[in-house]
A and B are shown apart, each in its own frame.
Chain A
Amino acid sequence: MADNFDKMKEVIVSTLKVDADKVTPEARFKEDLDADSLDLVEFVMGLEETFDITVEDEESAGVQTVQQALDLVESKQNA
């Protein structure tokens, strides 16, 4: 699923305006990528568009790291 990670990385770089090398699976959105709540909404909307999925607020609420976001996307793709 490296492909998914790369696609997500692009979404993160474009919506959160961070350097690509900061985007690791362990990176935390708020602490490491400096994302505020509006950034995260943009990020989730970017995911919905890129992966053609729908993410409810409750589902994204617990997501803190890039890996968790990736897991969420992949659980949607397999659903």
Chain B
Amino acid sequence: MSRVVLVTGGNRGIGRACVEAFLKNGDRVAFTYRSNPPSDLEGENVLALQADVNDPQSVENAFAKVEEQFGNVEVLVANAGINKDTLLMRMSEDEWDDVLDTNLKAAWRVAKRASRNMTKARSGRMVFMSSVVGYFGSPGQTNYASSKAGLIGLARSITRELGPRGITANVVAPGPVATDMLTALGDQGAARLTDLVPIGRAASPEEVAAAVTFLASPEASYISGVVLPVDGGMAMGH
């Protein structure tokens, strides 16, 4: 396999695991990062792009660079995401907007840009990084959970719009994953979450990346519009 893959937010956590998994597959992988480039992800098949997914021009520039270096994006992983947790009554307008912009609107933006050439090629794969909380709900995450639920509507509408053009759009919904986002909750916060998981631990980023590479693989050609939970049984899709 040597496809052109673009992963947003690929410098750490789940995104980084996706970058590494696609590289292992023999794909050419571009990834965006906001501020900290990983120094140890280098090679002729990998392209690190500083980009702000909230800035349309920055996204356009990133795509232009990928196209110049590798060719048109064939697999898009919309992964870049943030959280700004606080209880509803304390949440500011900015905390809502920032999270919705980055997690949902920016995913729409990169999907829109990628869809142009995928449509022409009559082929393409999109994978959106959602979260179990999108349908499970989570106190203190009205903004984050809403954005992650929104990705499901986005992917399913793309499935209906662009399915006739050979494009699939799927969603991966991880439960707790051992990343900086989980570490930020502290030991107690993390334990509260993993207590809800039948498998009894957080996922590794690689376990989530495996679902992403599968949905982007030729073997998954007839799978579109699904929400694939990778949550150790925490919510089982509900």
Is the interface on chain B under 10, 10 to 19, 20 to 34, or 35 or more residues? under 10
Report chain B residues within 8 Å CB of A45: 116
A1 interfacial contact with B, CB 8 Å:
no
Is the interface on chain A under 10, 10 to 19, 20 to 34, or 35 or more residues? under 10
Report chain A residues within 8 Å CB of B119: 42
Query: How many whole Å from A14's CB to the nearest CB in chain B?
Result: 9
Complex alpha-carbon distance, A38 and B165, angstroms: 9
Contact with B along A16-50 (1 / 0, CB 8 A): 00000000000000000000001000100100000
B189 interfacial contact with A, CB 8 Å:
no
Report chain A residues within 8 Å CB of B116: 45
Report chain B residues within 8 Å CB of A42: 119-120
Complex alpha-carbon distance, A45 and B165, angstroms: 15
Complex alpha-carbon distance, A38 and B116, angstroms: 12
Report chain A residues within 8 Å CB of B162: 38
Contact with A along B153-191 (1 / 0, CB 8 A): 000000001101100000000000000000000000000
Contact with B along A35-74 (1 / 0, CB 8 A): 0001000100100000000000000000000000000000
Query: How many whole Å from B117's CB to the nearest CB in chain A?
Result: 11
Q: Which residues of A contact B (CB under 8 A)?
A: 38, 42, 45
Show 7 A/B contacts (Cβ-Cβ < 8 Å), sorted by A: A38-B161, A38-B162, A38-B164, A38-B165, A42-B119, A42-B120, A45-B116
